[in-house]
Amino acid sequence: MSKFVRYAVVGAAVASLGIASGAQAATSAQANASATILNSLAVAVSPTDNTLDFATIAPGASAGTVAVAPDGTRTCAASVICTGTTNAPTFDITGAANATVYVRFNNATVTLTDAASDTMTADTFATNLPSDTATLSAGGTASFTVGGSLHVGASQPAGSYTGQLGVNVAYN
């Protein structure tokens, strides 16, 4: 065999060792992938306790605010007269056991309207939950109540006023 062919064969062998050793220097690793799927989260107003009721109000010559706390107690401005029984509605949550959820109101204000299209505004909604957050029980349930403030206009027209207060609940 000629010297040139021998050097070519030896060179090819050495070159292939370099390529093979580079491939052997590569390494790999894997990580685990996981996910936890929570139970569906639902909130519903109690069918027997479903109204934020400011009760009966007699307006005065000047505007006033009537507030119902989440525990159902009422504060009435001096410019209006408040009678009757107030109520703070109860909302029931179902979801994953021991999960933390938070409550948010759909709107910062709610308009209450009577049959003649007269209006009043309710706002300053609050729950009885610390920081509007609840931890669901081992059975995946919790309840909360809601209060708010109603702004009664000076000489507000008589009527039965209604509106809708909505809440959202989400996993925290």
Q: How far apart are CA 103 and CA 95, in angstroms?
A: 13
How confident is the model over 73-125, as pLDDT tens digits? 999 999 999 999 999 999 999 999 999 999 999 999 999 999 999 999 999 99
Q: In this structure, what token pair is assigned to residue 71?
A: 């525990």
Residue type at position 90: T
Q: Within a domain: residue 73?
A: yes
Q: What residue numbers bound the domain in which 131 lies?
A: 42-171
Q: Within a domain: residue 1?
A: no
Contact 144, 91 (CB under 8 A): yes
Q: Within a domain: residue 107?
A: yes
How confident is the model over 26-62, as pLDDT tens digits? 899 999 999 989 889 999 999 999 999 999 999 999 9
- Please identify which residue in the block is written with the tokens 């949550």: 93
Q: Within a domain: residue 29?
A: no
Q: Within a domain: residue 23?
A: no
Taking the model in full, what pTM does it have? Answer: 0.80
**How many domains does the structure of the chain reveal?**
1
Q: Within a domain: residue 123?
A: yes
Longest distance between any two alpha carbons in the chain, whole Å: 121
- Please identify which residue in the block is written with the tokens 């029984």: 85
Instruction: Identify the CATH number of the domain in which residue 57 sits.
Output: 2.60.40
